[in-house]
Structure 1
Amino acid sequence: MGAKWSVIPLIEDHLATFRDQRTNEKRNKDYLVFYAAPTGFALSCYLAGFEMRDPASILAGIAVFTALLFGLLIHVFSLGLRIKDDPRQSSTGRTAILIDQLQANVGYAVLVGIVTTTLLIIAAATTGKDQPIGVLMSALIAGALLHLMLTVFMALKRTRAAYHELRF
């Protein structure tokens, strides 16, 4: 059992969703898209000398977005409980699996949002007014923002799949 503040289970749950729905085989392409692409993007930003401006404005948006994601996480949790208690739904059925995966993805998105918010707080606190953020910090933030966006897209896809499973 790990520390109460450990985020490793959130990461493990998210990574467990990187599987093909039909064959249940690991999808290496998902690792490339979710980790190599943001890392490559951040590296490209760094090499290009990209410098963000006005971290406080970006921080405000990401902080609100992360809070909304946390609210969604609580909603998905309650949805999972309702599906568990619904006698028409199997706890091992496709809908239940999709809701579990959605829970993992949204939980991970909250984690990425918190990390991104923290990076932006550091950037805002260490950058003078009307000064650009340093190249390294700008690259880290850009990569984190892309990673967050891709994770939210994955959650959207799972939401759509669960809806179609229930409706059709």
Structure 2
Amino acid sequence: MIRMIDLVPIIKDHFQTLRSHATNQVMWGEISFFLGAPVLLGAFGAFLDWKVKGVGNILAAFAILAGLLFNLLVLLFDVAAKAAQAGGLGPQNVRLKLAKQLQANVTYALLMALGAAGILGVASGMGMEKINRWLSSILVALLTHFILTLFMIMRRIRSAFLQSLT
């Protein structure tokens, strides 16, 4: 039963994409940036006593983004199937590799969006329109990490698009 909701493979798959294409080495600089910047911003927000306001609006935005990410996952399934059909399943199929990496990144972003929506949904359900500084700092870190992951997804979609033109 617990294996059905095991989220560890999603996180592992995402961080496996943070490797150099040329050397297959882990890019520790990118990992520290993707984790460190959000944690620092969240800590900075806690220090400055930031309080997230507009819980309902942020929740609505995350619900829309989660729906769009689900849609993107369905499209990626089709893209991966076409890439596999055109170039085979081997490691030399760059389009398939990019599609798999995109799938890992989009699934991870969806996990973060659902996590943020869950936190915001509980706060909204409790009638909170303004969240305390500690929960706000967690949300700021989560939102920052989510946005950085979306930037990574945009970069990979661009790479996949340019790859498909060659």
Instruction: Give the TM-score normalised by structure 2.
Output: 0.93
User: What is the CA distance between 1:123 and its match in structure 2?
Assistant: 2.1
* Aligned mate of 1:161, from 149, 155, 159: 159
**CA RMSD between the two structures:** 1.6
Deviation (angstroms), 1:78? 1.6
Runs of 4+ in 1 over 4 A off after TM superposition: none
Segments of structure 1 that go 5 or more residues without pairing to the other structure are none
Cross-structure match for 2:43: 43
| Code of the aligned partner of 2:19 | R
1:110-156 CA-partner distances (Å, limit 9, x unpaired):
0011001111112223344xx52111111111111111111111111
How far apart, in 2, do the equivalents of 1:166 and 1:67 lie? Answer: 26
1:34-89 deviations in whole A, cap 9, x for unaligned?
Answer: 11111111111111100111201110011111111111011111211121122xx1
Q: Where does residue 22 of structure 1 map in the other structure?
A: 22
- CA apart distance, 1:28: 0.2
Distance 2:21 2:148 in 1: 19
Q: Output the amino acid matched with 2:131.
A: I
Distance 1:153 1:50 in 2: 24
Paired with 1:67 and 1:48, the residues of 2 have a C-alpha distance of 33
How many matched pairs? 164
C-alpha distance in structure 2 between counterparts of 1:30 and 1:118, whole Å: 27
1:59 is matched with 59
In 2, the alpha carbon distance for the partners of 1:124 and 1:37 equals 27
Q: Which amino acid aligns with 1:28?
A: W
Where does structure 2 lack aligned partners over 5 or more consecutive residues?
none
Aligned mate of 2:137, from 136, 139, 156: 139
Please name the residue that 1:149 is paired with: 147
Seq. identity, % = 27
Structure 1: how far apart are the matches of 2:135 and 2:124? 11
- Between 1:107-116 and 1:73-82, the stretch displaced more is 73-82
Matches within 5 A, 1:8-19: 8-19=8-19
Q: Distance in 2 between matches of 1:39 and 1:106?
A: 21
Alpha-carbon deviation of 1:21? Answer: 1.3
